[in-house]
Amino acid sequence: MNSPSYTSSQAAEMNRTIKLLMILNGALAVWATFVFLGFLRLDLLSWIMLNTCSPTQFAAILALASGKRGPMNAIVPWLVFYGFGGLFVFGWTGHMIVAQISHLIMTATAVYVLVTTAKERRFRALALGIAVGMLVMIPFQIYQGLFLSAHPELLQLLGTQ
């Protein structure tokens, strides 16, 4: 099914929204990456396993920049699980405020992708993208759980254990 025609003002508004989401996700992901790799001095694998939000945000930026519904829809399960889910895992005080702002931006990005895809009536693309995203995410989460179980000291860094 073809996407609907947008007026130039609607297309410009969508472009502004996408750019804003890319900038916000990028700024927050870069900061978190700096904290985990710089301040906490984690190795790359530990960073990815402990701070999956930042790699997810970098992937979301690439998906949004592509302008293609497949990658945008595939990143939605990651944004929802790690972004929206993070809102309920972490506290809302002290150093976690920046993380929670990041989770809110991830959630807003997921909502934007879902709403714009639905407005275009591309439900098959949405379902396929979400399915692909989940097919990749589920084995990752299994490995992540095993990795973090073997390294409980990493969870202590977040104050979740």
Give the tens place of pLDDT for each residue, 94-141. Answer: 889 999 999 999 999 999 999 999 999 999 999 999 999 999 999 999
Any domain includes 48 = yes
| Contact between 73 and 128 (Cβ < 8 Å) | yes
Any domain includes 2 = no
Any domain includes 4 = no
Any domain includes 5 = no
Higher per-residue pLDDT: 10 or 136: 136
Any domain includes 40 = yes
What residue type is 110 in one-letter code? A
Structure confidence at residue 1 (pLDDT):
43
Domain count, the chain: 1
DSSP sequence for 62-89 = HHHHHT-HHHHHHHHHHIIIIIITHHHH
Any domain includes 19 = yes
Range of the domain at 89: 11-158
Any domain includes 3 = no
Sequence-separated (6 or more) residues with CB below 8 Å from residue 53: 29, 32, 82, 83, 86, 99, 102, 103, 106
Determine what percent of the chain is predicted with pLDDT higher than 70.
Answer: 93
Any domain includes 30 = yes
The pTM is what?
Answer: 0.90
